[in-house]
Amino acid sequence: MNSWDWSNVDTFMPRFWDGLLVTLQALVLGTLIAFSLGLVWAIAQRSENTWIRWPVTAVTEFIRNTPLLVQLFFLFYVLPEWGPAMSPLTTGIIGLGLHYSTYTAEVYRAGINGVPIGQWEAATALNLPKTRTWTAVILPQAIRRVVPALGNYVVSMLKDSPMIAVIGAFEMLGEAQAYSNETFTTEAITIVGVAFICIAYPASLLIRVLERRLVQ
């Protein structure tokens, strides 16, 4: 460590907190999109109507098997040709949310498949309408057991969030990169790397606790 300089750490810290705030903002909003959209995909994939089921499956498989980075470029450079231009952060949040919604859809799907068939039959026997079967019988049981798996994808999303720096959003990596380019130093990028471990490791411990409490 011949070139570590604590004064660089001091000057970078205010910008680090700004970046952390943007990262968390992207993470929270992206998670909201991913969780809600994923549920929509999962239910649509079980639809009896082929014209809903097939296109939704095709689109989610496509999004899930292509890189988030290229999707972000697509949203940022191609979409404004047809619709309104969005800020880098908004684009990033939508990109993260959309990409991870295809993963959460698989998680919900696994959870829904895990609900015993008798529950469906009981709902039919009680003559419950379709919406009530979903909201009162199936989803409460399905979601409970997939909460840890969903949590894992939040951690994954946190680790993918630096990608939005590439389209110009100033989250942690973006701030570190800007600072490093101005000062020709590398402390900032090291701090950000350590920060990711400091957030991701306790988060995964928390998920482990959840796993033990909810799944059985």
Partner 1 sequence: MMTSGMFWTWFLPGIWVTIQVTIYSAALAAAVAFIVGPLRTSRFWIVRFLAGTYFEIFRGTSALVLMFWMFFALPLFGWQLVPMWAGVSALGLTYGAYGSEIVRGALAAVDPAQREAGIALSFTRFQRLRRIELPQAWPEMIPPFNNLLIELLKGTALVSVITVADMTFAGNLVRLGSNESAPIYTLLLVLYFVIAFVLTRGMRVVERHAKANIGQAPEKQPGFLSRKLSARGESAQAGTQSAGGIG
- Tell whether residue 18 is a contact of partner 1 (CB under 8 A): no
Give the separation between CA 45 and CA 68, rounded to whole angstroms.
22
Indicate which single residue of 30, 88, 97, 111 sits in contact with partner 1 (rule: CB under 8 A). Answer: 111
Q: How far is the CB of 129 from partner 1 (least distance, A)?
A: 26
108 and 60 Cβ atoms separated by less than 8 Å: no
Q: How far is the CB of 127 from partner 1 (least distance, A)?
A: 28
Look at the block and give the residue holding tokens 């994939």. 45
Start-end of H helices in 65-186: 68-73, 88-113, 117-125, 130-132, 139-160, 172-183
Indicate which single residue of 14, 55, 114, 140 sits in contact with partner 1 (rule: CB under 8 A). Answer: 114
CB atoms within 10 A of CB 27: 20
Number of residues interacting with partner 1: please give it, by CB under 8 A.
61
> Largest Cα–Cα distance of the chain, in whole Å?
74
Indicate which single residue of 81, 129, 130, 182 sits in contact with partner 1 (rule: CB under 8 A). Answer: 81
Indicate which single residue of 13, 21, 32, 62 sits in contact with partner 1 (rule: CB under 8 A). Answer: 62
User: How far, in whole angstroms, is CA 124 from its chain's centroid?
Assistant: 35
- Tell whether residue 207 is a contact of partner 1 (CB under 8 A): yes
| Amino acid letter for position 167 | I
Kindly state the tokens that stand for 61.
Answer: 């498989």
Give the separation between CA 164 and CA 168, rounded to whole angstroms.
7
Indicate which single residue of 149, 169, 175, 179 sits in contact with partner 1 (rule: CB under 8 A). Answer: 149
Query: Binding residues for partner 1, per CB under 8 A?
Result: 1-3, 57, 61-62, 64-71, 73-74, 77-78, 81, 106-107, 109-111, 113-114, 146, 148-149, 151-153, 155-156, 158-163, 166, 173, 176-177, 180, 186, 189-190, 192-193, 196-197, 200-201, 203-205, 207-208, 211, 215
